[in-house]
Amino acid sequence: MAEPLLNVDNLNVSFVTYGRSRQVLRDVSFSVAAGERVALIGETGSGKSVTAKAIIGTLPKNANISAGTISFAGRDVLSMPRAEREALKGTAFSLIMQDPLSSFNPVFKIGTHLDDVMRFADKRNGISTSKAERRTRIAAVLRRVQLADGERVMNAYPSELSGGMRQRVLIGLALLHQPKLLIADEPGTALDVTTQDEILNLINQLVKEENVALLMITHNLGVVRKVADRVVVMHHGDIIETGPCAEILSNPSEDYTKALLEAVPPLYGPRVIDLPRSERAPIVTVKGLNKIYGKRPGYHAIRDVDLTLREGEIFGLAGESGSGKTSVARIIMELSQPTSGTIDIDAPAPGRGRRLTQIVYQNPGTSLNPKRTVKQTLSLPLTSIGMDADAREARMRELLDLVRLPQSYLAKYPHELSGGQKQRVAIARALAAEPRILILDEPTAALDVSVQKTVIELLMQLRQDLGLTYLMISHDLSLMRNFCSRIAVMLRGEIVEEGVTPEVFSDPKHPYTRALIAAIPVVTDVEERLKPIVTEEERMRFLVKTTA
Amino acid sequence: MADMKMLDASDRGLSSGYMMWYRFSRNPAAVIGSLILISIVILAVFAPWLTPYPKHVGAVVDFRARHLPPDASHWFGTDKAGRDIFSRTVFGLRVSLLLVIGVLGISVPVGTVLGLIAGYFGGWVEKLITSLTNVMLAMPPLVMALAVSNLLEPTLTNAMIAITLLWWTWHARLIYSVSKSIASEDYIEAARLAGAGPIHILFREILPNCLAVISVKTTLDAAFVILFGATLSFLGFGVKPPTPDLGSMVADGRQFMPDFWWEVLCPGAVVFYVTLGFNLLGDGLRDMFDVEN
């Protein structure tokens, strides 16, 4: 076999924080051949991003490469002089950044961003170029990432482009100097599924056409199946296993990989869980709901939405960003007023300081006050319902038992907890004053897939034990397939499809629903084949344009 | 982003006290600043025992010893009445520190509370408080202070009142912006949904998240208050003689420049030393808490 393009050999990296050294990569070895697509997968803290940073040379100051080599096309990258290594960026390998919004300086036009990168690279290579000439080269690159109207894109400010278009520009930025290796750090994770799907297609196409190698860093196993030939599984700084993509996904040998695959909610197949429907009386009835933000003409966020939540069911409200699903939930929570329409909650009025509805937020990092201990956070709703100190103490113990956290966690601050533990505290807070309806606003979107699984299991158990009704808002349809008994799909403020979950997934009526389901990255080929078929014309009609 | 999260996860075992101390102890500015301030506080508190001529604070006149240059018995020399300048500057520190405590002790709580209220409630309350601070900020501070102390009697208390009247606005404005951004956090809404009243949200949820900003701002402000106080007494609107005050000592010595340079330079250097101490500590605290602006 020929010399691989990129070879990482026994890489050891440690970080020094607060005077303590901690090893984050242990003997990491893998290689990427020319034109090959390799995915580095792992959960938070697995070291996948650190590995990418070590390759590019952007490790933070407190990191230290204690052993190992990284060689690119046979040359040792780590022992190169600084200038030489700097020159590799963009030409040898380049990075597709993760967040399409914060990667751009909002006060400069897209064209300026691209031109700056090109000008400095030309300067480094000792070529002097004119602005007009660079502009034609940039337009050519933009065409390669399927932004046909390059002139318009170059003259636009970052805020004037959609997320998908910005991501395309970022890919174009990485391609400016014909790199041999593209490193993609979770591309499209910040975007909607349908947009992410298009971005992945684009990356695949480019890899093929330009014959570049791809190192994809991701936590999403569905994405891996789509864009990788070979997979490297990382966990806590170690490489767990390496192998061809199909083999790892269908027949992993290590327990960790098996558990990881197990945790991915399936879209189709025998592992899918069908929740029983609730035949009980409706508890929430929403009729003719409209919400217009701002004054004439205003933004029509919700249009004529009718909804019924039956007692004890898990109702899913699916939709992409801007579809109005969160606005509906906020109105049901009485956090905002509808412009027109009614909401009836059919339950006896709660006692003093109690609410019928409570919410679990998406990001437990921002929904818990960083300066308050778990005990302080939990005692707040208990004080409002008039409990004395002893009763509060007892109830807090009960709540921690409910969410399966040890009693000692009462004294901890949020920064001492992991994401999943924080979300458990947030769930305990929501349940403290015994609401009847729990609104789950993408409750696992900020969590790793294995943690997501445990939080979902907890929520299922709690619903059963406490007789709760859930309204789940999410864009993650594969999760909703297994977690919701009924589902409604929202598009631009309207409900376009509603029904019992298994039926919606086996026979989606609305083309948008079909497009949404088709865009979900799945782990097995069997599931891929079972996805509904969407025509190009339907895609054009319902999806946000990401090309210009 | 991903590796930031990882760092967070790894720091989980460390207490926040340890992390603060670690950053503090590795920050030369903060350490030097606090050493300077500790020395100042010790000198001011124990001035009668630490100075060679504590009696020279009062109306002592010793014409045989006037205008002596610095030497072993008079480290900072003597002034026109033959009083030991070192003893007088050390006692002068007491006035400066009193001024800082008096001014910031009132203006920081007032400014903080108004800022919290304006940021959290919004609406007309916000408009009222921000307009008021804007009007106050538009007045030239020195002119305002001179007017107030002219109107009343030129004493330490009145100087304090004059400075306090101006100082709270800076804090109100700073805390307003912090409180406004915190008010839109999920955890504030969650607290409201848990039945918390406005008092709880202002002082238990938002205020703890402002403490870092407040402590940095207050420390840096202390330096300005001392300078401002010295300016006022230099212009004759401060402490009445013979009580020693750093600003009026510089003013007294001014007429004998450049021959008896120590009479201006020594108290001046002490003002510099105190200001430097507060500024270093403030900057150090800012690095420690990672506070921007």
The domain ranges of chain B are 44-56+71-289
Question: For B239-264, what is the mean pLDDT?
Answer: 84
Percent of chain B past pLDDT 90, that is, above it, reads 37
Q: What is the pTM of this model?
A: 0.86
Predicted confidence band at B11 (pLDDT cuts at 50, 70, 90)? Answer: very low
Q: How many CB pairs under 8 A join A and B?
A: 99
Is A22:B10 a contact under the CB 8 Å cutoff?
yes
Q: What is the DSSP string of A331-355?
A: HHTTSS--SEEEEEE-SPPP-TT--
Is residue B200 pLDDT above 90, yes or no?
Answer: yes
The alpha-carbon gap from B130 to the nearest alpha carbon of chain A, in Å, equals: 24
Distance (Å, whole) CA A224 – CA A222 = 5
Distance (Å, whole) CA A520 – CA A510 = 16
Question: For A399-424, what is the mean pLDDT?
Answer: 91
Percent of chain A past pLDDT 70, that is, above it, reads 98
Question: For A173-198, what is the mean pLDDT?
Answer: 84
- Sort out which chain B residues have CB atoms less than 8 A from A353's CB and list them: 195
Question: For A67-87, what is the mean pLDDT?
Answer: 87
Residue A547 has a pLDDT of 64
Is residue A28 pLDDT above 50, yes or no?
Answer: yes
Is A190:A101 a contact under the CB 8 Å cutoff?
yes
pLDDT in tens, A101-152: 788 888 999 999 899 888 888 887 778 888 888 898 899 888 888 887 888 8
Predicted confidence band at A544 (pLDDT cuts at 50, 70, 90)? Answer: low
Helix, strand, coil percentages (3-state) for chain B, rounded to 5, are: 75, 0, 25
Is A501:A275 a contact under the CB 8 Å cutoff?
yes
Residue A102 Cα distances to A6, A184, A219, angstroms: 29, 16, 21
Q: Which two tokens stand for residue A510?
A: 């609305």
Query: Domain B44-56+71-289, what fold?
Result: MetI-like fold (1.10.3720)
Q: What is the DSSP string of A520-539?
A: S--SSHHHHHHSPP--HHHH
- Name residue A365's amino acid: G
Mutation target to probe the B interface, by most B beta carbons within 10 A, among A102, A332, A369 is A369
Percent of chain A past pLDDT 90, that is, above it, reads 32
Of residues B171 and B143, more confidently modeled: B171
Question: Residues A98-101: contacts with CB within 8 Å, 24+ apart?
Answer: A98/A185, A98/A186, A98/A187, A98/A189, A98/A190, A98/B1, A98/B2, A99/A190, A99/B1, A100/A163, A100/A166, A100/A167, A100/A169, A100/A170, A100/A190, A100/A191, A101/A158, A101/A163, A101/A166, A101/A190
Instruction: Report the candidate in A443, A302, A267 with the shortest Cα–Cα distance to residue A361.
Output: A443
Which of A19, A49, A383 has the CB atom closest to B2's CB atom?
A49
Predicted confidence band at A499 (pLDDT cuts at 50, 70, 90)? Answer: very high
Is residue B293 pLDDT above 70, yes or no?
Answer: no
Instruction: Report the candidate in A524, A523, A532 with the shortest Cα–Cα distance to residue A504.
Output: A532
Question: For B217-229, what is the mean pLDDT?
Answer: 89
Is residue A548 pLDDT above 60, yes or no?
Answer: no
Predicted confidence band at A546 (pLDDT cuts at 50, 70, 90)? Answer: low
Question: For A535-543, what is the mean pLDDT?
Answer: 72
First to last CA, chain B: 23
Which of B2, B11, B204 has the CB atom closest to A17's CB atom?
B11
Distance (Å, whole) CA A118 – CA A135 = 10
pLDDT in tens, A140-174: 888 888 887 888 889 999 888 888 888 889 888 88
Distance (Å, whole) CA A319 – CA A488 = 9
Distance (Å, whole) CA A455 – CA A461 = 10
Predicted confidence band at A61 (pLDDT cuts at 50, 70, 90)? Answer: confident
Question: For B178-204, what is the mean pLDDT?
Answer: 93
- Which of A366-375, A523-532, B83-92, B166-175 is the least confident region? A523-532
Question: For A435-439, what is the mean pLDDT?
Answer: 92
Residue B290 has a pLDDT of 67
- Sort out which chain A residues have CB atoms less than 8 A from B8's CB and list them: 415
Q: Is A14 on the interface with B (CB under 8 A)?
A: no
Residue A141 Cα distances to A93, A178, B24, B200, B231, angstroms: 16, 10, 49, 56, 63
Distance (Å, whole) CA A332 – CA B253 = 74
Domains, chain A, in order of start with CATH, read 6-263 (3.40.50.300), 267-347+437-496 (3.40.50.300), 366-435 (no CATH)
Distance (Å, whole) CA B183 – CA B192 = 11
Is A508:A517 a contact under the CB 8 Å cutoff?
yes
Which positions ≥6 away from B44 have C-beta within 8 Å? B90, B93, B94, B97
Of residues A531 and A2, more confidently modeled: A531
Residue B292 has a pLDDT of 43
Residue B161 has a pLDDT of 84
Is residue A66 pLDDT above 50, yes or no?
Answer: yes
Residue B9 has a pLDDT of 40
The nearest alpha carbon in chain B to A447 belongs to B5
pLDDT in tens, A254-303: 999 998 888 888 888 888 888 888 888 889 999 999 988 887 777 888 98
pLDDT in tens, B28-80: 888 999 999 999 999 999 988 888 888 888 777 888 888 888 888 888 888 88
Taking an 8 Å cut-off on Cβ atoms, the answer to whether B196 and A53 are in contact is no
Most confident of A473-487, A522-536, B133-147: A473-487
Q: Is A359 on the interface with B (CB under 8 A)?
A: yes
- Name residue A480's amino acid: M
Q: With a cut of 0.85, is the ipTM above it?
A: no
Distance (Å, whole) CA A54 – CA A56 = 6
Taking an 8 Å cut-off on Cβ atoms, the answer to whether A19 and B3 are in contact is no
Distance (Å, whole) CA B14 – CA A102 = 31
Is residue B291 pLDDT above 70, yes or no?
Answer: no
Predicted confidence band at A497 (pLDDT cuts at 50, 70, 90)? Answer: very high
Q: Which H/E stretch holds residue A69?
A: strand A63-72
Residue B2 has a pLDDT of 36
| Chain B residue set in contact with A, beta carbons under 8 Å | 1-3, 5-12, 14, 16, 18-19, 22-23, 185-187, 189-191, 193-196, 200, 204-205, 208-209, 211
Which of B6, B185, B209 has the CB atom closest to A45's CB atom?
B6
First to last CA, chain A: 42
Residue B4 has a pLDDT of 36
Instruction: Report the candidate in B37, B239, B152 with the shortest Cα–Cα distance to residue B250.
Output: B239
- Surface-to-core class of residue A34, CB atoms within 10 Å of its CB (0-12 exposed, 13-18 middle, 19+ buried): middle
Question: For A513-532, what is the mean pLDDT?
Answer: 86
3-state SS class at B192: helix
- Sort out which chain B residues have CB atoms less than 8 A from A371's CB and list them: 208-209, 211
Distance (Å, whole) CA A485 – CA A500 = 6
Is A235:A42 a contact under the CB 8 Å cutoff?
yes
